[in-house]
Structure 1
């Protein structure tokens, strides 16, 4: 999966089973189209945790870092629709990171995604970035892998938005590794071997990183807006 643009919003949260059906309809029919209508938003994708639990991973790919503080995006964040206001409180254990793209390798959109949230140990940011970029470039050319990417959170200086207030505030990641494949098993092997906690720690990452494998649920690009049906709010 070649990331579009030079920045992204990467998010993880849980949705309980009772809200899952309405959440996916709202997110697909209203929220994604709303976001893709903002200048600088290029593609959104939603992924469900392969273990069948409550977890989601969502990513917006952005033309530039400046999109994060654009008037259009802030207008949307501070003026949620009634349906958005209804659904936002159900985003549990929210982690939301506004990121710059440090490295991106590969092309295409796979059906599965490995996400790793990690931080460099003291004085290890440079060596860890170099190691990760080298390893991800190699992985992107490996069997089954179609994309490998490195993001770094860089939260803009901005007041808490209305959407954040509804959710009660969000946690943030630090560095994010993304690995995309057309085979879930390939990602599980990478998680256990080349991107295992042991190897990442040896390369300069702090212990306590978070791994997760997700399956693609829905994707929408800006160019696809006209083909999507009308909103169907509850």
Structure 2
């Protein structure tokens, strides 16, 4: 089956090396379980980067019915009431990036142990063509490869993201541009690396500069669902 809805919260986080043991225990024993029972949430997964030069070490995804579930007033209220353990661990984040995305193309099939994550900022004039390219050519090719299980396109919804920032008392950055994230699931690291390279070739062929693609390979750590 595909994803559990058309909304997805994504977080990219890091903590200091001396805090990683507690960070991982908190994520596996409290945070994931807490989130999947929030309004609109269905499944959560978390991963660790396998390359030491990755821009952000840890990635997590939370599947929701729609992206608007990530602006639900009940969810917003719960964001303002964190457990003592959550407050302690979150205060130690050295990197944190939060995206609230709409899944505009879903050609996934379950989930596996390896994930390719590619982030980029397409120009408005490129978006329709890129969606068509991914839907009709790139995803069908990549998901048909040996040990590959599918992929999806997530487009960050800035309006929903800003509602979350405001609910947490954080400033809304000016001049934001919608970010796109492509997730590729595969059964082996090698398969995902090859697929991620194929994705990059296709995006570059469509006019995106290689340097504009932020590409990371992640290995699965833990997940849960309702």
TM-score (norm 2): 0.87
Distance 1:172 1:58, change over 3 A: farther
- Could you tell me how far apart the structure 2 residues matched to 1:71 and 1:34 are? 17
Instruction: State the shift of 1:191 in Å.
Output: 2.4
Divergent runs of 4+, >4 A: 161-165, 168-173
Unaligned runs of 5+ in 2: none
Aligned length: 218
Residues 114 and 187 of structure 1 are in contact (CA less than 8 Å); yes or no, is this contact kept in structure 2?
Answer: yes
Instruction: State the shift of 1:176 in Å.
Output: 0.5
- Could you tell me how far apart the structure 2 residues matched to 1:100 and 1:112 are? 22
Instruction: Within 5 Å, give how 1:109-120 maps onto structure 2.
Output: 109-120=111-122
Instruction: State the shift of 1:161 in Å.
Output: 4.8
Residues 125 and 204 of structure 1 are in contact (CA less than 8 Å); yes or no, is this contact kept in structure 2?
Answer: no
1:144 aligns with 2:152: no
Instruction: Within 5 Å, give how 1:218-233 maps onto structure 2.
Output: 218-222=222-226
Residues 121 and 204 of structure 1 are in contact (CA less than 8 Å); yes or no, is this contact kept in structure 2?
Answer: no
3-state SS, counterpart of residue 204 of structure 2: helix
1:178 aligns with 2:183: yes
- Could you tell me how far apart the structure 2 residues matched to 1:77 and 1:161 are? 11
Instruction: Encode CA deviations 1:115-167: one digit per residue, 9 max, x unaligned.
Output: 000121351111111112221132122211112000100021526356574xx
3-state SS, counterpart of residue 158 of structure 1: helix
Instruction: State the shift of 1:201 in Å.
Output: 2.5
Residues 80 and 162 of structure 1 are in contact (CA less than 8 Å); yes or no, is this contact kept in structure 2?
Answer: no
Unaligned runs of 5+ in 1: 223-234
User: Over the residues paired in the alignment, what is the CA RMSD in angstroms?
Assistant: 2.4
- Could you tell me how far apart the structure 2 residues matched to 1:74 and 1:20 are? 27
Residues 48 and 57 of structure 1 are in contact (CA less than 8 Å); yes or no, is this contact kept in structure 2?
Answer: yes
Instruction: Encode CA deviations 1:178-204: one digit per residue, 9 max, x unaligned.
Output: 001110001111223x112x5312214
Which residue in 2 is equivalent to 1:99? 101
Residues 12 and 98 of structure 2 are in contact (CA less than 8 Å); yes or no, is this contact kept in structure 1?
Answer: yes
